[in-house]
Amino acid sequence: MGVIKVENIRVFAHHGCLSQETVIGSDYRVDLNVKADLLPSAHSDDLNDTVDYVTLNAIAVEEMQHPSKLLETVAKRILDRIFLSCKTVEWASVSVAKINPPIGGDVEKVVVILEEYRPNL
């Protein structure tokens, strides 16, 4: 088993419960961690035998472009896409952070973290 991390994916998006948040938009940071069997790719040196971090980045960027009220909703969509697109991923963690949230205080960011094992079908 191994872990692939894609950290600090920076995205501008339009999420939030306040109507002005969906109009103005704000900066976000997404971090992904996935567990998969990386030994086949370690031996073969073949991209087809691993989890492509280009794909992971693309999933995060694409899902962040669909406005939602809650960061939890965005994080869950990203998780679902990872499991759909990356068949060897057994576990994933998604962290979505809103930078400078409009919560009436001096707060750097708020973060939602969801993690999940591959659903049994």
Q: What are the residue numbers of the active site?
A: 98
> Residue 103: helix, strand or coil by DSSP?
coil
Other beta carbons within 10 angstroms of residue 120's beta carbon come to 4
